[in-house]
Amino acid sequence: MYKNLKWKLLAIVVVTLLAVWSFTPPSTKIRLGLDLRGGVHFVLAVQTDDALRLETETASEQLRAGLKDKGITVTTTPALTEFTVTGVSSPDDQQFRALADTLVSTAYNRDANGSGTYVFSMKPNVIVQTRADAVTQAVQTIERRVNELGVSEPIVAPYGSAGDQIIVQLPGTRDVARAKQIISNTALLELKIVEAGPSPDEASLLQSHNGQVPPDMEVVQGMVSSKDPSKAYYLVRKVAAVTGRDLRNARPTVDEYNAPAVSFTLNSDGAVKFGRVTRENINRQLAIILDNQVQSAPRIDSEINAEGRISGTFTQQEVQDLSLVLRSGALPAKLNYLEQREVGPTLGADSIRAGITASLIGLAAVTLFMLLYYRLAGINAFVSIALNLVILLGFMSYLGAVMTLPGIAGFVLTIGMGVDSNVLIFERIREELAAKKSARQAIAASFDRVFITIVDTHVSSIIAAAFLFQFGTGPIRGFATTLFFGLLSNVFTSVFVSRTLFEFILSRRPAGATQLSV
């Protein structure tokens, strides 16, 4: 009688039941990818020039504002990766250089062109890093947005060799227009002090400034108020008191007229800045600007520290979406849609049906071959391969892995790996039997000697699967996932399960029996 045979059989039953429990019912427990469940696939291009331009404009405005605080008035003209400063007088030149070294020297090279003119050029390494950071931030922002959108197992990752593209796959998404709007909405929130307005047109707005926009201000279009949505123009300060980067949270609410609005809270730094600006500008208007559009311009009645509200002509759905994109952060640059593909649920169902059919035909063909070639031992192979597939499904369901069409191909490959392992074992048993060993001795020697070979080949394949998952995207990852778990389950079934089945059969025979159908 084999030692611990009952415990081995019990372990196999427990593992099988746990696997079946993990993926039952399959319709809810097994997560399907885009190609099986249906959904939408996007390839986006990040306009990294926008990020460079924003960095240059911010640096030039910070330098101009810093110089103004010191009593030095200059003119700054930003471009894509450089900005020009003109009007630096000789008495102020030394102080200008010192302040420029403090504020922008780490990212810009400074060249003097004479006559009080300087050109600040962004350093090459900063340009490369800024572009890369823009793509990384866009990936992170889009990922947060689609996660809050409720999409199950979305894929958001860098794509292609250009370095500025992103792939987005949203399984199960039906409202493609809303998904595109939420993904590409820049959601740049700025709170700026109003210097003049609202006015019905730009000419009326600039009458007190001789028709010219002051260098430290800008004109922004919007509406008069949440109750009066007519077009209006505002003259606001260029430097924002608070931006979306200072947000801690945003949520839907209602305003004093019981209309949909968005309430937001600021982080500690934002609360300090907001408190200072509102304290110094009581009884003045504060423009709440979203994507360069004034949503409202309430009057500051008292100091405000950590909370505020955005009101306007919003619908309930709009405040839900606006809250979502504000919570997830603003995109660093605009996005262009290079590719869009929609996969319908009918196509996904057909793919599942075809994949299951292919797997069953493969399993049946393999089983038939094993029965013809190895006779009754083929039943052992069939049981171990079938359990291999069941355990593989349990693995994927329990760990939340996504099943894709290439993943189904991985299932078929798992059948092939199971056959390969069983062939190694059966051929070794034949050799041991040919050496006149008893059935029990042949079984023990064969599994002991083949074990190292099976582990060695499977570890090599697991390493390959790990690299496919690490460096692949989409379909490649789906295939690598199934391959990885299939290799783990195959070691268990081909070695432990198959050996236990042989031992169980031999335990029913007399001790001296030497016949074994292999």
Per-residue model confidence as pLDDT tens digits over 488-518: 888 888 888 888 888 888 777 665 554 555 6
pLDDT at position 120: 92
CA distances from 498 to 9, 377, 447 (A): 11, 10, 9
**pLDDT, tens only, 128-138:** 988 988 888 78
pLDDT at position 121: 92
Weakest-pLDDT range from 117-126, 241-250, 361-370: 241-250
What kind of architecture, by CATH, is found in domain 5-33+346-507? Up-down Bundle (1.20)
Q: In Å, how far from its chain's centre is CA 353?
A: 29
Query: What is the location of CATH 3.30.1360.200 in the chain?
Result: 185-340
Instruction: Work out the widest C-alpha separation in the chain, in whole angstroms.
Output: 113
**pLDDT, tens only, 465-493:** 888 888 776 667 778 888 888 888 888 88
H helices, E strands: number in the chain: 16, 19
Terminal-residue alpha carbon distance, the chain: 21
**pLDDT, tens only, 86-117:** 888 888 888 888 888 888 878 899 888 878 89
Q: What is the CA radius of gyration of the chain?
A: 34
> Mean per-residue pLDDT for 64-88?
85
Backbone torsions φ then ψ of 286, nearest 5 degrees:
-120, 115
Residue 1: band (very low, low, confident or very high) from pLDDT cuts 50, 70, 90? very low
Residue 463 has pLDDT above 50, yes or no: yes
Give me the residues paired with residue 166 across strands: 44, 158
Q: Which helix (H) or strand (E) holds 96?
A: helix 93-103
Residue 141 has pLDDT above 60, yes or no: yes
Among residues 187, 117, 109, 195, the alpha carbon closest in space to that of 145 is found at 187
Among residues 193, 192, 142, the alpha carbon closest in space to that of 170 is found at 142
Weakest-pLDDT range from 158-172, 176-190, 195-209: 176-190
> Mean per-residue pLDDT for 385-398?
86
How do 165-171 and 39-46 pair as beta strands? antiparallel
Distant-in-sequence, close-in-space partners of 200: CB < 8 Å, separation ≥ 6: 230, 231, 232, 233
Class of residue 510 by CB neighbours under 10 A (exposed 0-12, middle 13-18, buried 19+): exposed
CA distance 322 to 293: 14
Name, of 149-158, 220-229, 324-333, 362-371, the range with top average pLDDT.
362-371
Distant-in-sequence, close-in-space partners of 390: CB < 8 Å, separation ≥ 6: 16, 19, 20
Q: Which two tokens mark 310?
A: 């955005």
Distant-in-sequence, close-in-space partners of 476: CB < 8 Å, separation ≥ 6: 406, 468, 469
Sheet of 260-266: strand order equals 247-254, 260-266, 307-311
Determine the Cα angle at 190 with ends 284 and 124, to 5°. Answer: 135
Name, of 260-269, 270-279, 404-413, 451-460, the range with top average pLDDT.
451-460
Give 211-215 contacts, CB < 8 A, sequence gap 24+.
215/64, 215/75, 215/76
pLDDT at position 480: 84
Q: Which two tokens mark 128?
A: 């490369």
| Mean pLDDT (the chain, rounded) | 80
Q: Which two tokens mark 79?
A: 């471009």
CA distance 44 to 38: 19
Query: What is the location of CATH 1.20.1640.10 in the chain?
Result: 5-33+346-507
Residue 73 has pLDDT above 70, yes or no: yes
DSSP conformational letter for 227 = S
pTM here is 0.58
Among residues 352, 481, 366, the alpha carbon closest in space to that of 421 is found at 366
Q: Which helix (H) or strand (E) holds 71?
A: none
Q: Report the topology of domain 49-125.
A: 3.30.1240
Query: What is the location of CATH 3.30.1240 in the chain?
Result: 49-125
CA distance 204 to 220: 14
Characterise 38 by phi-psi region: left (phi > 0), alpha (psi -120 to 50), beta (else): left
Weakest-pLDDT range from 153-167, 220-234, 330-344, 378-392: 220-234
Distant-in-sequence, close-in-space partners of 486: CB < 8 Å, separation ≥ 6: 388, 392, 410, 411, 413, 414, 417
> Mean per-residue pLDDT for 163-181?
80
The sign one gets for the Cα dihedral 195, 197, 198, 203 is negative
Q: Which helix (H) or strand (E) holds 454?
A: helix 439-471
Q: Which two tokens mark 228?
A: 């009066």
Residue 61 has pLDDT above 50, yes or no: yes
CATH number for the segment(s) 185-340: 3.30.1360.200
Residue 228: band (very low, low, confident or very high) from pLDDT cuts 50, 70, 90? low
